[in-house]
Amino acid sequence: MKETVLQLEAALRRAAAQGELVITGHDAPDVDSCLSCAMLLELARFWGIPARIALPTPPDEAAMRVLPRLGLDPAPWRGGIGGDDLLALVDHHQPLHGGRLAAVIDHHPTDYPPQAPFVFISSSGACAMMLYRLVCAAGMPDPQHRFERMAVTALYLDTMALRSAKIPQEEADWVKARAAALHMDVDWLTQEGLGLEDMGRPARELARLSLKTYDFGGARVCSSYVQTDTMTQDKLREILAEVRAALEESGAARWVFLVQDPVRGRTEEYDLTANGETQHIGYDFLASRGKNIMPRVEREIRCAQKGDGKP
C-alpha cells in the first residue's frame, strides 16, 4: 500500500501542475461515494495539492441523512465539470461529464480498466475503505478516528449491513470490531445499511432508485435497484412497466433492475433490452451490482459486439 500511495501522490502532483484537481463520485452519489470524495480531498490537502469536490448530481437520500452525522455538508460540493478539468474519480471508473482523467480509485471490478496516470481498482466492500487504507499509508493523522468512522459507516451502508457478497471476510471482521471499539451505533448503521424502502412509494420512483449509467464499448446501460423484503408480484409488474418506460425514454440499450432482499439474502435481476425482451435471473445470495452483476453484463455486451462469443 505504501508504494500505491506514493504513486497516487506523484500522479496528483503532476495533475496539480496543470491546475486544480477536481474530485468526483458517480451520479446520484451515495454515502460511500461521498465519503470517498471527502477522504481524497483531505489527502490532497495533506499533500498541499489544490483540489475541490464537484458533484454534478445531488447525493442520494441516505447520503443526505448520514453525512451530517459525520460532520459533513455536501451542499458546497455541488457543481459541474468542465471539459478541461483534471479529474480524480472515486467509486467509479468511467468519466460521465467530460474532463481529463488524472486518477481513478474504485472498488468495482472490471475487465476493461480505464487509461489514466493512476488507476487503483481493488476488491473491497466500500471505496471509502480503500481511501482509508491510503490515508493510513500516507501517515495522515486521524483525530478522533474521523476517517476510521467514515470507513466503518461506508462499509455498513454499501454492503447492506455487511450482508452483500462483495465484502471480503477480513473487512467484515474488521468493521465489526472497529464499530464496537469506537462505540458506534451499530443498530442505526444496520438499519441504514439494510435500506429497506417504503414500498408504498410510487412505482415510478422505485424504478429509478440508486440509478447508475454505464458505457460499455459505446453501449449505454442503465441500472437501478430497490431493497425490500415485501415485494409483491403486483408491485413488481408496476415497477417493471416504469423501468420499461424509463429505458425507452433514456435511449439506452439495456436496463438492469435489481430487487435486493437483505432479510432473506436473495437478489432478483431483471434485464430489460431495447428490443422489448426481459430476462430474469435469481440469486440465492445478495449479489453485488458492482462485483457480480455489471461486470457480467459488460462482458456479455462486449462479446456481442465482437461477435465471436468469447469474453
55 SS3 class: strand
Mean pLDDT of 68-78: 96
Neighbouring residues of 54: CB distance < 8 A, sequence distance ≥ 6: 22, 23, 24, 77, 78, 79, 80, 81, 85
Mean pLDDT of 263-276: 96
Averaged confidence pLDDT in the chain = 94
User: What is the C-alpha radius of gyration for the chain, rounded to an integer number of angstroms?
Assistant: 19
Q: Return the pLDDT at 309.
A: 52
pLDDT digits (tens, 9 = 90+) for 79-138: 999 988 999 999 999 888 889 999 999 999 888 889 999 999 999 999 999 999 999 999
pLDDT band at 287 (very low <50, low <70, confident <90, very high): very high
Q: How far is CA 102 from the centre of its chain?
A: 19
Per-residue pLDDT for 311 more than 80? no
Do the bridges between strand 119-121 and strand 100-106 make them parallel or antiparallel, or are there none, so unpaired? parallel
> Considering only CA atoms, which of 22, 21, 85, 30 is closest in space to residue 57?
30
pLDDT band at 1 (very low <50, low <70, confident <90, very high): confident
pLDDT digits (tens, 9 = 90+) for 28-56: 999 999 999 999 999 999 999 999 999 99
First to last CA, the chain: 31
Residue 22, H or E segment: strand 21-24
260 SS3 class: strand
Q: Return the pLDDT at 308.
A: 57
Helices 127-137, 31-46: inter-axial angle, 10-degree rounding? 20
The burial class, CB within 10 Å (0-12 / 13-18 / 19+), for 221 is buried
Q: Return the pLDDT at 204.
A: 97
pLDDT digits (tens, 9 = 90+) for 126-171: 999 999 999 999 999 999 999 999 999 999 999 999 999 999 999 9
Q: How far is Cα 77 from Cα 73, in angstroms, rounded to an integer?
A: 8
Q: Return the pLDDT at 307.
A: 77
